[in-house]
Structure 1
Amino acid sequence: MKVLITGGYGFIGSHIADRFHKEGHDVVIIDNLSTGKREHVTFKHKNYQLSIDDPKCEEVYRSNKFDIVVHMAAQVSVTDSILHPARDAEANVSGLINMLNLSRSFNVSKFIYASSAAVYGVQQHMPIKEDAECSPLSPYGMSKLVGERYAGKWTEWYGLDTLGFRFSNVYGPRQSVIGEGGVITTFLNRALAGQDIVIHGDGSQTRDFIYVEDVADVIYRASLSQVTGVYNVSTGTECSVKELVDYVQELQPVKNITYGSSRIGDIDRSVLSNERVQNDLDWAPLYSIAEGLQRTFSYFQREQAAAESAATKVQRASSGLRAYKSLLKQVQPFGENLLAFGLTAWLTLNGDIGVGTAIDVKFFYITIMGILYGNKQAIVAVMLSIGLYIFERLEEGNEFISLLYIPDFFFQIAIYLFIGLVVGYSIERKNNQIEQQQVKIAELEDKYEFLNGVYHDVREVKEELQLRILNAGDSYGKIYSITKELESLEPEKVFTATVNVVKSIMSAPFVCIYTVNRDASYLRLVASSGTSGAATANSLKVSDHAYISTVIHDRQMFINKQLIDNAPLMCAPIYDKGTVSAVVMIDGLPFEKFSLYHQNLFKTTVDLVTSALSKSFAYIQATEDRRYIEGTPLLRDEVFQEIVASKRLAFKEHHTPYLILRSSGDHVDHIRETSRAIAAMLRETDYIGRHADGHVLVLLSGTSREDVESVMERFARRGISLTLVEEDQ
């Protein structure tokens, strides 16, 4: 299963990513890293640094084909939503709508998103249930409530399965101090730093704190369910801020506790009912507040110790380097300008190329400074050149006042100014154009890198699929040939082929198939691949095995997660016309294959078998008058021989036992009466045929040589004498 997690580098999102990865699923993350950190997710995965409202998200969907989307990206600060409501709505509403639209367009199976207890506002009745009237007190709560309405409409209008969770106050490792749940992080960090803890209000206000791994667990369970709508996720337990401080003090002594004014948007009490999510998803929180705080405290202890050892060195080195680079960047143009001016002054005063000569080097100096550095340094060069020009005139014996009366004095200064302004402005304008072009080039390069990354992702997936196909050529051939076997219209052949199908696809050493009798009280073995532990039973009484009752009466696949003795690892029903007609069991799987993936694979395989058996049952019913000798329960010779051949093949391949008995002492003229008497004593999986000499043949499925004497005695009590013709040896 391929899962997209938006905000996957964030506090909750990274824990959800870890959970899906541990369960063997492919994880893709979209995160703009505004609050998340890449180091939160350490396993190999695909990632895209994007905002959730970025148009590039469409390319991500197009190239990945997601099964599940878990939308965790959001603005989570109540205070920030009050200060910047438009920014809050853009993140929590516009971004959600974009993800909903893309999930609908690209056929995502399920869309799970984060809501909040903030939608409820102030409530009188505790714990708060999902049907309580919502009256949010902040723009954050409003945006979350609006998001729920949008998700509900996408389900109603477009059929997209959406599931929202109203989280109570989530806490745990990797959490920042932003958001309501951040109070625990704030308290723990301040306690570790030896700082005062500040309580907003009198400390009697309560919250429902839930550990982040419990949240990740409920989201993972939800991804495998058919549940939709909106649910609370909480512990259902109130904890006051004062009680929280007491828990913290048990972990780390607190220097001092001070009380401040209540924050805008805070409520006095909050505890959510989790009864509905417990019933519908079979989920319950594992961690108490004490256990969760202990795990969180240990995490922050490790983080603080590592940060303190590295931060000091890095900060000193980086701050000094930054200051040096900043100063160098500011001083360098002036330094080079002064150096060029010094050369210009030396050439002017000592090289006879100053005023009154054919070449005035100051023109070149101003022009070069303007070209190199633009308008600012060009003006500095003009001022220095004017100063040098005045100095030249004074050296010639002119008085400063007399310079004002020289006609070409102002003309020369005007030329310097003109050259400086024209060159400086032209270069400045050109530089601005170049910067704009560089910005456009950077944007195009960014887009190219993004699309190139998508292209390589697609190529990687394609090459991986090709490699799998090449390496699995034999498996595909086997599945194809077995599927051809399932096309038979004879149930016995289908049963035998089913064992091959399940054994090959599941790599299960032990596979057996039982048929269900008319009143669903017994199971009869019709095919097996061997024995598991004790010998595979020929018949099973339904009432003696709870897991069989679950499969037959509740019509649910049984997974032996508790590893119950004398029960298979997996068991699934086969249907015919809406009723359970047979049961497939597998056992002996390696531990690493006892996973959700193999459970789904088993269900798919059984569905394939069910389809094949339905066709054969329908064929038998349609041709029943041609299968039996008219007026008798005797199968026609060719039909009986075909079934016998199937039994022989099943024994040859899987050692599935069977017996063939022949009636003796009856006259051919009374064969009808004999066959009816025998048929009344047989099971649904047994058959009656006719011997070449005209006597009745009885085929007993799943019956071994050890049972033959008891079988003959049972028939003898009814006046029917049978002899063994063929057995499982």
Structure 2
Amino acid sequence: MIVFLVGGESRLMDDLITKMEKEGHKTYLLTGKRDRRGKYRRVFERYDFPYDSESVQEIFSNVNPDLVLFLGAYDTNYDWSDARKESVRYTADLTNILSAYAFKQDGRFIYLSSEAVYGRSYSSDIHETEPASAKSFQAMALLQGENICRSYRDTRGMDTRILRFDHMYGIPRKGKTDRNPCFWMTLEMLKTNQIAANSRTAFSMIYQDDAVAFAYRAMMEESPKYPLYHITSGEAITQMDLAELIRQNADGVEIRDDTVGEGFRLVLDGSRYQEEFDGKIFVPYEKGVKAVVTYMQKHSSSFLQRDDAGAGWGNRVWSLLCRIFRMLVPYIENLICFIPFFMINNRVVGSQYFSKLDAYLLYVLLFAIVYGQQQAIFSALLATVGYCFRQMYHQSGLEVLMDYSTYIWMAQLFILGMVVGYMRDQILQIKKDDEEEIGYLRGQLGDMTEINDSNVRMKQLFELQLVNQKDSLGKIYEITSSLERYGAYEVLFYAAQTISKLMNTEDVAIYTVANRVYARLFSFTSPTARKMGNSIRYPEMEAMYEDLKEHRVYINKTMDERYPLMAQAIYAEDEMQIILMLWGLPWDRMNLAESNRLTVISYLIQNAVVRANRYLEALHEHRYLEHSKILEKDAFTQLVAAFFEAKRNGLTECSLVRIVCSSEDYKKAGEILEQKLRQTDYIGILDGGLHVLLSNTDEENAKGVILRFGEEGLKSILVNREVAA
């Protein structure tokens, strides 16, 4: 296969060239600049042209590559210090490259993007289907590049593929900066012997060798299922964990805990890639971080400035000497240049044609224009010494000093040199002030842009609320009041659906409080919502419990995976009865407005729940067999129907077990069963005899319960399929 790589010099480019050559592909390279000074691995042919050159189309036509790989987010030809200006050049270059390659119908175009297109925190791993949230100009340029590739795919049928790398890190080039957390934290360690880390900032990284291997499989696939893949290890790591790994491989390093503010989490989801290609990580964090730290320590002089704390006393002294030498360079240059001007002046003094030429005046003007007023004065002093020395060829020193023409000549020389030098210094100062002002205004413009973006998002949110009125109290009451049409046994099942609809999240769980220690899972709307298990010891969840017992909404601001993102408790007569838990909320919705909305919803749901409980208490005598916990046939039939209907709707899990015994032994069997069942399980009578309803128990776990019943001498049979039929 003919592979055409497009990008600047970097470790990534070297690894890609090595990979392509190793796999037997003929590799071409477009460097993006005209000079040939860049250091690249050897390729079949190298083209030194800028991306916007008209020759790019001719190059593609001649080479006719089967695959073009554009480094995109990792192209070192772009300087993002002025991101607003560079983003325009970036998109224009990409458009020119794509349009030049569009002639080849069966070609593949690979675009490398990064996690930077997501500019906010996400509570869960980010899937490819999640809309991007780019904020900076660089991130918006990368996202615009993705959109351009999609446009060419949709309109022209080009096989364009986008690969997003998740915080890719690796061994940097000597003296070159890299854009990943591992590099910057290691550089900080080298500079200050300290590492500042925030334990609430989490992300995932992938080592460059693994990233290249993953990307190669996605590139070479003939017919991939998707045009976009996340290249990630999928393993989250906090700044504090990364700092600890760096410290393990460096001596005498101190970690400074900068854990402040709200948490930030950015981890890409690589499940789509894993399902199709089944990639394996060969370089774990421990090995990869060690390699980076070892290399940067070995070549620390290329990454450090002389005055950095980690540079050592020798480097600091050398830095001081270098600064002194740089200060003396203009004076040394002045002295050296004085010699030829002195010789020229001696030659032209007696010349018929050049006697009027003042070489010293030219000499002073030259240094006034180049170096400014300070060097103009120094050069004027040297010129004065040279003039006096030349005059003393024919006069005594006293005569030279008494000659008024000497002072007139000196005055005009100093005045002219100082004026020209002053003008030069003023012009440079004006330019410097203008550059500082432009930099300040650019910063202000960036801040205004971010503020405007925030205002636009808020405006759109308020417009959406006005249009659909989903957040209005009337709409909330209308939806929650729909719970009244359900039976007393069904209210809590469909309350989960109601909360899911109103809070706009797919992950809601409802736990019923069994006692002062345990809460049992009653219903859920997704597998994520039941990840905490069927039973929880809620007082041990201190961060959440403190808010719930004070009747406050719990918000997981630290993004702790042990807790839900939001939770609220429902009370009845000052006793906690129900705990509502929510996941799947974006970070920007974990705020006071959403907290207030959940509070209103929980109060409205509380009314329906309390009403149902009071109804069941009023019918207590009619629902149970006398002096037992066995539900009568009608009540138990309604309960079983409610549970299995909720099971069919994916709101809970349950199993029904028939106890083989005569009607005379119901109460005796019931007493035995009460000792073996949880508070959330039920005993009742149906056609066919005594039954036990096991909540939150699938068929596999129900078999274990049947074995325990058998140990007590009770024969039982699982009858889920009979109920379903």
TM score, norm. by length of structure 1: 0.44
TM score, norm. by length of structure 2: 0.44
Larger Cα-atom Rg: 1
